[in-house]
Every structure is written in structure tokens, then in C-alpha cells.
Structure 1
Amino acid sequence: MSQLSEMLSNNHDQNIEELKELLRIPSISSLSEHKEDIQKAASWITNKLERIGLEHVEIVQTKGHPIIYADWLHQENAPTVLVYGHYDVQPVDPIHLWETPPFEPTIRDEKIFARGATDDKGQTFLHIKSVETLLKLEGRLPVNVKFCIEGEEEIGSPHLPQFLSENKEKLACDVAVISDSDMWERGVPAITYSLRGLCALEISLKTANSDLHSGMFGGGVQNANHLLIQLLSTLHDSKW
């Protein structure tokens, strides 16, 4: 067993307990009654980043929920990796479908069940723990690392674009790693190289300003429903 594997194995139980601490914080970004929990989660992560040896750790307040930044930049002539993640979570409704309380992490079949365990506190925590373990073992990292961890991903990241625009130099990197994607199965690494994203819009179509007799005008006058169907059908072709 390598020193890295041995250290991870020896600290397994402690790491699980730390993750449970983070998962117990109900940091639901879409509900105003959880505003203090959002701040609590941000503070928990910044304290962790400071303790493991990262530098320039800060909580950046926005007009919404805060963004966390931290870095380790001591590897000359090495690439810089920007790790992105988010600490906010979705609401838990419908609550009656949960076998155990959503903010009381429970292990069943070697899996942790809790809101945020995989979206996205678990993945973000994994990257933080990886950095911590390497720093403890080697005293340094093989690459330069920056963290950008936000608290609004589940509501569309409304204030992230402004933060990115205002901090281009601080966030400059050679590669970005998103801590929010899938694995095929245990022990099988996976690299997600593209995410589709979302787009929301409203379309209004106006044709006749009153009902028309289908027997006399059907087919001759454009129907709004038919036009919408034709328009929507152009959003995807046989390949996409």
C-alpha cells in the first residue's frame, strides 16, 4: 500500500465524520429562512481550507450568497488548476419520501444518504481532502491550486458572472475542474468534458385576433400552435 493510500485509509473514519458535519448544515439557497445556514456552511468550508494550509482564504460577499476563494501557488513552472464547487443544496420536498432525515447523514449499503451528499458537498469535500492529504504527505502540491466555491448554484448562480468578471486575474488558470459531475461506478474514474447548461425564455406568437372557422380558414391562416411546434422542432436535429 502506498503512503497516500495508507494515510487515506487511516483517516477514513475521521474524514467521514467531517463530511457529515458539513452535510448537517441545511444550506438551502432558494429559501430565505436558511440564509444563516448558508453563511454557516461558507464559514465551515473557509475554516477547513485555512486549517489544511491553503492561503488567501476569503469569503466574498455578493448581493446574494457568498463565494469562497482560496489558493496554493508555490509550484513554479507548473500549471494552475481552478477547482469549482458549490455548498448550497436543493430543498428537501417531498419530505415524506426520505427514509431518514435529509440533514442527518445516514450510511446504508456503504453510501451516505443526505441532501448535498453528491450535489455538491461530497465532491467539493473530496477535492479539499485530496489537497489536505497531499500537503500532509508531501508538504506541497504537484500543481498550483485555486478554489472557487459558491452558494448559489442551485438557483442559477445569479451573482457568479459578476464575480468572475471582476476577478479575472485572481481566477486565471490553465484548467478548471468542476466538482459537480458523475462517476460510472465505484473505482471507475470518469471525466466529464462538456455540460449542456440551461436556457429559459418565453415566446409569444400572434396570428388572428379572433377564432376562425376551421372549414373556411383552416390551413390558409397560420395557427399559433402549429407555428410553435415548427419553431420548437428546430431546436434539435437528428444529431443533437
Structure 2
Amino acid sequence: MSTTPGWYPDPSDPTRSHLRWWDGSGWTEHVHRQQPSLVKPPAGQYPAPAPSPYPPSQYPAPGVRAIATPDGQALGNLGLRLLARVVDAIVITVVAALAGRSALQVMTSLTQTTLDRVVAGDSAAVSDLVANASYSAASRELTLILVVVSAVYTILTTRFYGATPGKALCGLRVRDWERPGLPTTGQAAVRWIGSDMLGSIVGLWYLIDFLWPTWDQRRQAIHDKLARTVVVKRR
């Protein structure tokens, strides 16, 4: 019996009109109708070699949204990806707040003073806060810390573990679209730049990037496309 992953005639289909994905060790749940041009092998030889209707360069077929990578690993759904992002955002925020606690204390103190002045009817309170040099310096420091923490946290965990803690908690991981295994350092960095970095510059980018998989044929976010990666469910 061949152990090569691929699409083969479904042995559970008596009409032999459907193909089922063989992952190298067993049949998966992924099934689709066989193309008329495919030649059926002799009975009893399953999984028998058969040309894949989805060559790696064309997978999935036009008009068909992928449910798995070319080698059969199921793609992660949007709900789990959202939950993973929330978890990661909380972790990054807490770590950045601890690392930049001195700057955060300055901003908190000045903000509280401004609120007290606003309550007292001081109309110049907000403009004074915006023009306050100490507040601006603390804000820049905290922003820089947040960016650095986000980059280190996201890039390193993706590169060496295939997932951020949030994704790991949700049963997700990141991989190259065409091959299994850990993403490269370049792919991990491009993913972060295409998501968090651009999102911190243009807030609307976060929303566009996150929603992109809902209509993308390969269910990739924009940062996935830039890095040629995809988010999948752990096997």
C-alpha cells in the first residue's frame, strides 16, 4: 500500500466517484468529487496512484475554498484565531506594562491630575496634558517597549515553536503553505511586520488583515500571504 500523501479514490464509496485524502498513514475526513479525467485503478489497490486534482501550484481549484493544506492538514478557523490574538494581546500588554512601569506610572499620574482638573472645570487641562513634555516622553517610551515586546514575543515563539502561546493554547500552529514544519525566521518576521507592525501604524489594518481569511481562497490573512504561511490545527 502506498504511503505517499495524496488524493485517491475513496474506498468507502462504491461508485468510486469521490476522492479521499490519504495522509500517509490513514484516510482523513477530506472528500471531494473525482474529476472525470481521473483514471480509476483496478479494484482492491487502494490507495492507488492517482493524479491530484489540486496540484500544489493551483491548490485549491478555482472557486473552491481550501479546508486543508495540500498535504491534508486542516486549516484553523477564524474563531480560534481571534481567541489566540486576544490571549497574545493580553500577554504582550502585561509584559510591556511591567517592562515600562516607570513610564506607565508617569502617564498614569499625569492623566489622573488632568482628570481632576477637568472635573474641577479647568478647560485647559486636556491641552496641557497633550503639550506636557514628560507625558509625551513617557508615551514614546512605552510605545517603543510595546513594539519590542510584541516583536520578540511573536517572532521567536513562531520561529522556534511554530505558534505563539495564544495559538498553542487554542490548538493552532503556523507552517508554510506547501510544506509542514516550523516557519523560517524570515517568515516569522514578515508575519509580524504584516500584522502587528502595520496594525500599530494604521489601526484599520488590524481589522482588514484579520477578516481577510473569510473570503480568501486559501483562508490566509494578508500577513500569511506575504510570508507564504498558513494557520493550521495541530494534528
Q: TM-score scaled to structure 1, two decimals?
A: 0.24
Report which of the two has the higher share of helix: 2
Higher relative contact order (CA 8 A, sep 6+): 1
Q: TM-score scaled to structure 2, two decimals?
A: 0.24
